[in-house]
Amino acid sequence: MVDLCEEFRTRNVVGLDIAGDESMGEIPAIKEHIMAFQRAQELGIPRTVHAGEAGPAASVHEAIFLLHANRIGHGYHVLQDPELYKLVIEKQIHLE
């Protein structure tokens, strides 16, 4: 997927996005996702992770630190962790 983002980035592909059903419980990042998002970061491809809607603030933490998200889909529960919320503001991580 990252290869396609890189190949078509000059033709309307604007980033990489991942989402899962948080209502099913904790969804840990898997190695392949971590590696893909790391590569996307290295290539300067914007990265969105949907986290913190039904899941806890810890899912937002994982999205930022493991998946290198610079945009969080939803992220409502980030407010449960004042330090994480402060980091989101400082790093100017967009919350949808």
Taking CA atoms, 69 is separated from 11, 52, in Å, by: 22, 13
Query: How far is residue 30's CA from residue 7's CA, in Å, rounded to a whole number?
Result: 24
- Identity of the amino acid at 27: I
Catalytic residues: 53
